[in-house]
Amino acid sequence: MRKGFVWLGGVAALALANPVSAQEGSVAPAPIPARDVAADQQAPAPAVTDEGALTDIVVTAQKREQNLQDVPVAVTAISGETLVNRNVATVTDLTRLAPSLTVTTGAVPTNNSINLRGVGTVAFSTAIEPSVAVIVDDVALLQQAQAFSGLSDIARIEVLRGPQGTLFGKNASAGALNIVSQGPTARLTGSVTGTATTDDEYRVDAVISGPLAEGVGFRLNGFYGDRDGFITNRFDGRKLNNDRSYGLRGRLALNPLPGVTVDLIAGHSVSESRGTARTFRNVPAGAAVYGASLTPTLAGITPGQDNFTTAFDGPLFNKSQQANGSGKVTVDLGAVNLISITSYQDWKFRFIEDFDYVVGPVLGLANGITAQSGFHARQFAQEVRLASKDKGPFTYVAGLYYSDGKTDRTFDRGPSGPVVARWNSTSGTTTYAVFGQASYDIARATHIDVGLRANHEDISVRYINTVIPTTAPANNATCLATCSGNAKDSVVTGKIALRQDLAKRVMAYASYSTGYKGQGYDISTGFTPGRAAVPVRPETSKAYEVGLKSRFFNNRFQLNVAGFWTDFSDFQAQSGVTLPDQTIQLQLNNVGKVRTRGVEVEFQARPLEALTIDGGISYTEAMIRQFRNAQCYTGQTAAQGCLPVTGSSTGLQDLSGKRLSNAPRWKFNVGGTYDVLLPQMPFDGFVQADVSYQSSVNFDLLGNPALVQGAYAIVNGSIGIDQKARGGIRVALFVNNLFDKHYASALGTPSGGTTGLVAQTFSRNARRYAGIRARYRF
């Protein structure tokens, strides 16, 4: 740890001693596409000349570059500079900066869920699509788990709330994350950033960008990070929940012909860790897992919300490998641009874990139960669109989309006993779509936006059960060998929005939109011929939104407000299905209806030239309107609403009127940065602080009262020096979770566990840590 700080201190001292030497010998820049230069900026160029005024923010929330304040969509736009300054390293960290955004953390990334306005995907199936799409450089990721590999060299992230399927596709019924990476620069530039922290993280990010020849620009960035774990395995001393990751991304911007630009991107990244370990929060007397007493396992461990120690004698490991490539060609046709985007993505993920979390034998197995699984997802996609260039009374974007994706998975849990499961599966999805959105100025201050998307999809599944029972189960309760199925569906979604300019830089809007999350096969342990024959129906949404986007006080204060009301039908979630023999089978199906409504407020202010303040607050009522056949949570009694079912150990309950899981009623964040001018020094100083808060949540869709995380607030801060001129250095000392507030990112009841047994998952940010970050830029 000390060596890391000494190393960074040496880098900072060297840069301060010779702050401009790196600029000497710079070559004259070759011209590259203007849009690529703009994409590289940490923040868009100011549209006004007033010193101290807020800068305009350019977003692509509607597939065209627009001022954030002109877009009739609730958008949180976060610049790359803000991501670095606020220590946002992963998608999970975005919850501190975006109202209405939460992330549910599973044991592995494939069980994570990104939620907007209380709605996400509550499923463990390989093939079920998310409710929140993730788009990286115009390419939608096939598996949401691909988004949890870390962030590096990002220009901005746009959090789009509400259905976004008209322009971004069928898996954006609740919203989308639009991630844009930095592009090539017109002049030779570069930077090296080093980070070291008190919880033993060491990370280096490096970037170089500039012209290669006339009409050719490039950008190359790489990173390497190694962080020790923060969960201790008392059994063998292992530090769990660590992270080691590295990656490389290259980008070329070309002008091969007049009016033609080409943007090529290729990247590869690897992330591996000793798993996402859970600890015990509550352990009742006589607790056991699959009949094995927990008393020996918990020796020396004190369960509770401050417990960062676990004990088990099995493995825990996961590794993600991702490769992506895309080519974007833009042809200037005069009044319109013709844009073609071709992409291919390949993602591999493997995990192995101790399934029982017990030291000693379980179910007669000396080493207990081990689960392991491998995923391989790949997708080819092609999009072609026309985008008008004029800013006149009529503007539009229209296009065609095609994608072909496939995900293979293997699963093995055993080696023997009543919980054994071994199977292989392949799921496929092919999508065809035509879409368009147009804006028309009805009057000088009145505008209307109308969009439609026609989508057709074909899905398929092939499931091979490699554990064949000696006696065929009743009611086709499982696949004896191979099950397969095919299905197709077509849908039209749309949006209409009315915008009214109330004054200069003040706009009000009202919109109605529909969303769609595709049908899918519930591919998981226990897959049946019935599931292969009838996939889970699509989930649809209808959203109403009104908003205000405004700037006041000579462009020094920005206030954006959105009120929303969204109804979801055929909500996809795990629930109990009563079979003909009156037994209950737990599986993914369409449980009923959900409603989410509320208000979001975001603001940004610059009361002084040296002081910037920003923040947001959201109030969300995310309720289940209809869910009559939900299974009871573990230990639920008849007095608590559990209705027994004859011949089954699991009863049913009615969740209608209950809140959705991990959907806080209140969330807010506020942060500020003050620049300290030091005219006699070769640098200036800065002080930054932010606080985020969320109210209590229940992590269980079934409403188990033992799985409630109480309200909490987190305070972060940093102080440092910055040479903002080209060729300068920035050094920051920072602290995350200043008051060491411990909170869970997930709570659950372990499989095979005694009633009342509660396990918790922590994120790194659930403990205080400090660090130093030094960046040298030329």
Query: What is the full DSSP assignment across 747-777?
Result: EEPPTTBPTT-EEEE--GGGS-EEEEEEEEE
Average pLDDT of 259-266?
A: 96
Q: What is the pLDDT of residue 121?
A: 81
Q: What is the pLDDT of residue 65?
A: 86
pLDDT tens digits, residue range 227-238?
A: 999 999 999 999
41 band by pLDDT with thresholds 50, 70 and 90: very low
Q: Which of 693, 658, 689 is closest to 673 using CA atoms?
A: 689
Range name among 47-56, 383-392, 394-403 with the lowest pLDDT average: 47-56
Range name among 321-335, 444-458, 476-490, 688-702 with the lowest pLDDT average: 476-490
Average pLDDT of 577-596?
A: 68
Average pLDDT of 451-476?
A: 81
Give, as one character, the DSSP assignment of residue 520: B
88 token code pair: 């946002």
Task: Kindly give the residue spans of alpha helices, DSSP state H, lying in 553-619.
Answer: none
Q: What is the pLDDT of residue 471?
A: 57
Residue 648 has pLDDT above 70, yes or no: no
Residue 15 has pLDDT above 60, yes or no: no
For tokens 């490096």, name the residue: 206
Say which CATH number the domain at 97 has.
2.40.170.20
Q: What is d(CA 270, CA 323) in angstroms, rounded to the nearest whole number?
A: 9
449 token code pair: 């936006």
Q: What is d(CA 634, CA 646) in angstroms, rounded to the nearest whole number?
A: 17
Q: Which of 168, 113, 173 is closest to 143 using CA atoms?
A: 113
473 band by pLDDT with thresholds 50, 70 and 90: low
Q: What is d(CA 114, CA 703) in angstroms, rounded to the nearest whole number?
A: 20
Q: Which of 110, 90, 87, 205 is closest to 150 using CA atoms?
A: 90
725 band by pLDDT with thresholds 50, 70 and 90: low
The answer for residues whose C-beta is within 8 angstroms of residue 212's C-beta and 6 or more apart is: 30, 218, 252
Residue 749 has pLDDT above 50, yes or no: yes
Q: What is the pLDDT of residue 524?
A: 86
Q: What is the pLDDT of residue 472?
A: 55
Position with higher pLDDT, 110 vs 182: 182
Report yes or no: 408 and 375 within 8 Å, Cβ to Cβ: yes
Q: Which of 474, 720, 442 is closest to 581 using CA atoms?
A: 474
385 token code pair: 């669109």
Report yes or no: 447 and 403 within 8 Å, Cβ to Cβ: no
Residue 351 has pLDDT above 90, yes or no: yes
Average pLDDT of 672-677?
A: 94
DSSP-derived pairing of the beta strands 101-104 and 316-332:
unpaired
Residue 56 has pLDDT above 50, yes or no: yes
Q: Which of 720, 762, 716 is closest to 738 using CA atoms?
A: 716
pLDDT tens digits, residue range 397-426?
A: 999 999 999 999 999 998 877 788 899 999
pLDDT tens digits, residue range 602-637?
A: 999 999 999 999 999 999 999 999 888 788 888 889
Residue 23 has pLDDT above 60, yes or no: no
Residue 578 has pLDDT above 60, yes or no: no
Q: What is the pLDDT of residue 21?
A: 32
Q: What is d(CA 118, CA 699) in angstroms, rounded to the nearest whole number?
A: 11
DSSP for 618-662, please give it.
EEEEEEEEE-TTEEPPTT--GGGTPBP-TT-S--EE--TTPBPTT
* Number of structural domains the chain divides into: 1
Report yes or no: 118 and 620 within 8 Å, Cβ to Cβ: yes
Longest dimension (CA), the chain: 85
For tokens 């007049």, name the residue: 258
Residue 77 has pLDDT above 50, yes or no: yes
Neighbours of 684 (CB within 10 A): 17
The neighbouring-strand residues paired with 251 are: 219, 265
What is the percent of the chain with per-residue pLDDT over 70, rounded to a whole number?
Answer: 89
Average pLDDT of 453-457?
A: 96
459 band by pLDDT with thresholds 50, 70 and 90: very high
Phi, psi of 15 (to 5 degrees): -65, -40
Q: What is the pLDDT of residue 113?
A: 87
Give me the domain span that covers residue 163: 2-376+384-777
Residue 33 has pLDDT above 70, yes or no: no
758 token code pair: 């509660």
Q: What is d(CA 95, CA 78) in angstroms, rounded to the nearest whole number?
A: 12
Q: What is the pLDDT of residue 317?
A: 95
Report yes or no: 357 and 289 within 8 Å, Cβ to Cβ: yes
pLDDT tens digits, residue range 111-130?
A: 888 999 999 887 778 888 88
Neighbours of 560 (CB within 10 A): 21
The neighbouring-strand residues paired with 653 are: 630
- Hey, which of 63-72, 459-468, 758-767 has the most confident mean pLDDT? 758-767
Q: What is the pLDDT of residue 402?
A: 97
17 band by pLDDT with thresholds 50, 70 and 90: very low
Q: What is the pLDDT of residue 575?
A: 62
DSSP-derived pairing of the beta strands 231-233 and 309-310:
parallel
